[in-house]
């Protein structure tokens, strides 16, 4: 089975960052208007700041120059995943057990298409979320998740 361009780029960037303190959180490669954009979200054990984004950009750029996997011109953006970081890999879900999440589904499941609540468990097949709406525990198959993000409650004092 042939990989999509995004899957291929994800593999290349993941391999590039594998031996560094950076973690590839998510990668997007898409056309926005007339431009192609490669958007890379990275994390670092000590947090992501401007210097670390520049370092990750340099590492990824060197690999892209060497491998040349993209035929057309594009812009690359490297940034932190943000406070509402996407949850893409099983390890992401497992790392953020007990945290508040927002899950969007590809189709309705147990009467819901989207849920916000506490992430209670995660394995290869499903996640469990305690819904904020009714405190009901929802078991959601991984293949039904179209988008998952942390959804922290921000308190300003």
Q: With 90 as the cut, is the pLDDT of residue 55 above it?
A: yes
Do domains 5-79 and 90-150 share one topology? The answer is no
Query: What is the 3 state secondary structure string of 75-94?
Result: EEEEECCCCCCECCCHHHHH
Give domain limits for the chain: 5-79, 90-150
pTM comes to: 0.81
Q: What is the per-residue pLDDT for 140?
A: 97
Give the pLDDT band of residue 18 (cuts 50, 70, 90). Answer: very high
d(CA 81, CA 155): 20
Q: State the DSSP code for 33.
A: T
Q: What is the CATH number of domain 90-150?
A: 2.30.30.100
Q: With 90 as the cut, is the pLDDT of residue 154 above it?
A: no
Q: Is the dihedral of CA 16, 142, 82, 70 positive or negative?
A: positive
Residue with tokens 């361009």: 5
List CB contacts of 80: < 8 A, sequence separation 6 or more: 41, 42, 43, 47, 48, 53
Question: Which of 38, 69, 72, 70 shows the shortest CA–CA distance to 56?
Answer: 38
CATH topology of domain 5-79: GMP Synthetase; Chain A, domain 3 (3.30.300)
Q: What is the per-residue pLDDT for 153?
A: 82
Give the pLDDT band of residue 94 (cuts 50, 70, 90). Answer: very high
């Amino acid at each position: 089975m042939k990989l999509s361009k995004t899957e291929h780029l994800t593999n290349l960037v993941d391999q590039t960052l594998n031996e560094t303190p950076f973690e590839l959180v998510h990668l997007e490669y898409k056309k926005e208007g007339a431009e192609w954009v490669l958007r890379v979200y990275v994390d670092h054990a000590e947090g992501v700041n401007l210097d670390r984004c520049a370092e990750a950009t340099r590492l990824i750029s060197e690999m892209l120059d060497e491998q040349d996997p993209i035929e057309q011109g594009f812009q690359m953006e490297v940034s932190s995943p943000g406070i509402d970081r996407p949850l893409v890999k099983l390890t992401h879900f497992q790392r953020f057990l007990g945290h508040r999440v927002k899950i969007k589904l590809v189709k309705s499941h147990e009467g819901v298409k989207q849920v916000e609540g506490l992430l209670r468990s995660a394995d290869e097949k499903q996640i469990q979320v305690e819904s904020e709406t009714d405190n009901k525990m929802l078991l959601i198959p991984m293949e039904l998740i179209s988008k998952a993000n942390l959804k922290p409650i921000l308190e300003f004092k």
